[in-house]
Amino acid sequence: MNDPAAPLTRRAALTLLGSTGVALALGQNALAQRAVQTPDAPIFSGPTALEGWNGLGPLIALPQKVPLKKVPLIRLVDRPPLYETPRAYFQSPFTPASAFFIRSNLALFPASIDLTTWRLKLGGHVETAVDFSFAQLLREFEPVSVNAVLQCTGNSRARFQPRCPGGQWGNGAMGCATWTGVRLRDLLKKAGVKAGGVQIQFQGLDKGAGAPGSGGAEYKKSLNLDDPVLDRCIVAYAMNGQPLPLVNGFPVRLVVPGYFATYWMKTLSFIRVLTEQDSNFWMATAYLQPDNLKGTTTLQAVKEKSVKFRPVGSMPVRSFIVTPDETVKVQAGLPMSIQGLALSGRGAVTKVEVSTDSGKTWKDAKLGEDHGEYAFRPWSFAWTPKQAGTYTVAVRATDASGALQTDTAIWNPSGYLWNTIERQKIVVGQAG
């Protein structure tokens, strides 16, 4: 594990078992019977937030999530659910589970899980097919933890021009948590991967109609067996030291530090070793990026069918201004602090720079506490605006791979991998 946070003690892990009695009482593997929406239906209606920090939508209180009297989640779409985390929660480098964004591709998400019958099954091209109860995962494996950012591949999709179909996210389809669980490698050892395996496939319990004719009624994602990311994957049973909320993947979810959320399988219940490349809809058709690091192309090239695509993987470097927002009053001559977060899935964030003149000149920000390579890196910048007026503040980060954010907007047909420099207007009033 590259950056294990303090591992949960076995005792602490076992107390989780007790607290999950709540879920046990809820019932028998029932799937919520609600309207089904095709996953790829374009969601173009309503206004978008080309400039605003968050996406646009009503503030909603949900079970296991923050109540209305706090700052609740922003609903973009209800079925399948797309709920965005409001900007205020990013004042901390760790996102509370109760305010964590929600995204599911299929409409039939389990309404409850019966832990007495639930098993994590591991099969396919292995020596021995095995399954694990929740208690076995807690008792029979060394608990490990990692601090890691979960970010939707389409985070900030509302910025894309021309617009892309899909949830019109602002910046809040992301969050960072301490994930605790079992190393994927330890589980694989129990089954024994046979020679000739190509990919490892993950599946959860949710179901839905999928796009017509796509065969996408089950959400399945695969990683290459030779991908080094497998060494840091965790099958997590805890998020910030607590059981996962049901909508965020209870009882266990796959954690793939540095990779986009699409691989972080919720309600993970089936792991299969495949002898061929996974050709299911969610690997072969969805979640593809143009075959270059930035994931960028043009509408013209797509129309001409000249673009080569590949499955998305690691997250490019990004940085966000969290405070002040546009509601804060700033006075000329008074010192203030501009603060935010940065992330990268391609090497630790090494530098954050701030501009108070819309990107003409840049100064180093101060990096805050290092919570590990895959976590949010807080930063702050001390600033005393000299004169009244409207300033445009911008932030850019650099990561250990040498990648630096730029002003050039990217474009791809699904609205993935946005990492253009963020800007924020700050109105500075007259002193005195």
Question: Which partner from the list Mo ion, ligand MTE, none does 169 bind, CB cut-off 5 to 8 Å by kind?
Answer: none
Q: For residue 158, which of 343, 422, 406 has the smallest C-alpha distance?
A: 422
417 binds ligand MTE (CB under 6 A): no
Q: For residue 133, which of 187, 199, 203, 192 has the smallest C-alpha distance?
A: 187
8 A C-beta contact, residue 299 and residue 411: yes
Closest approach, Cβ 148 to ligand MTE, in A, equals: 12
Residue 163, H or E segment: none
Residues in touch with Mo ion (CB under 5 A): 103, 152, 261
Of residues 208 through 237, those in contact with ligand MTE by CB under 6 A are 219
Question: Which partner from the list Mo ion, ligand MTE, none does 413 bind, CB cut-off 5 to 8 Å by kind?
Answer: none
- 353, amino acid identity: E
Q: Nearest to Mo ion by Cβ — which residue?
A: 152
248 binds ligand MTE (CB under 6 A): yes
Question: Which partner from the list ligand MTE, Mo ion, none does 101 bind, CB cut-off 5 to 8 Å by kind?
Answer: ligand MTE
* Token output for 37: 């929406």
Question: Which partner from the list Mo ion, ligand MTE, none does 106 bind, CB cut-off 5 to 8 Å by kind?
Answer: ligand MTE
Which positions ≥6 away from 45 have C-beta within 8 Å?
none
Closest approach, Cβ 384 to ligand MTE, in A, equals: 38
Closest approach, Cβ 391 to ligand MTE, in A, equals: 34
> What DSSP character marks residue 302?
H
Query: Which range binds ligand MTE by CB under 6 A, 100-108, 123-131, 223-231, 307-315?
Result: 100-108
Closest approach, Cβ 280 to ligand MTE, in A, equals: 13
Residue 406, H or E segment: none
Closest approach, Cβ 9 to Mo ion, in A, equals: 33
355 binds ligand MTE (CB under 6 A): no
Q: Measured between alpha carbons, how far is residue 188 from residues 144, 226, 227, 385 in Å?
A: 16, 14, 14, 56
DSSP 246-284: GGGTSS-EEE-TTB-GGGS-TT--EEEEESS---SHHHH
Among 106, 108, 149, 233, binds ligand MTE (CB under 6 A): 106
Question: Which partner from the list Mo ion, ligand MTE, none does 204 bind, CB cut-off 5 to 8 Å by kind?
Answer: ligand MTE
Q: For residue 320, which of 173, 425, 171, 175 has the smallest C-alpha distance?
A: 171
Cα separation, 137 vs 420, whole angstroms:
40
- How does strand 120-124 pair with strand 377-383? unpaired
87 versus 103: smaller Cβ distance to Mo ion: 103
Among 104, 171, 356, 419, binds ligand MTE (CB under 6 A): 104
20 binds ligand MTE (CB under 6 A): no
Question: Which partner from the list Mo ion, ligand MTE, none does 355 bind, CB cut-off 5 to 8 Å by kind?
Answer: none
Cα separation, 3 vs 163, whole angstroms:
38
102 binds ligand MTE (CB under 6 A): yes
Q: Is 346 exposed, middle or buried (0-12, 13-18, 19+ CB in 10 A)?
A: middle
Q: Nearest to ligand MTE by Cβ — which residue?
A: 204
101 binds ligand MTE (CB under 6 A): yes
Alpha helices in 116-175 (DSSP H): 134-139
Among 152, 176, 182, 288, binds ligand MTE (CB under 6 A): 152
98 binds ligand MTE (CB under 6 A): no
Q: For residue 93, which of 347, 372, 391 has the smallest C-alpha distance?
A: 372
Of residues 257 through 286, those in contact with ligand MTE by CB under 6 A are 261-262, 264-267
Cα separation, 310 vs 289, whole angstroms:
6
152 versus 341: smaller Cβ distance to Mo ion: 152
Q: For residue 268, which of 298, 307, 236 has the smallest C-alpha distance?
A: 236
Question: Which partner from the list Mo ion, ligand MTE, none does 54 bind, CB cut-off 5 to 8 Å by kind?
Answer: none
8 A C-beta contact, residue 384 and residue 431: no
89 versus 101: smaller Cβ distance to Mo ion: 101
Paired strand residues for 220 = 203
- Which residues of the chain form contacts with ligand MTE (CB under 6 A)? 100-106, 150, 152, 204, 206, 219, 248-249, 261-262, 264-267
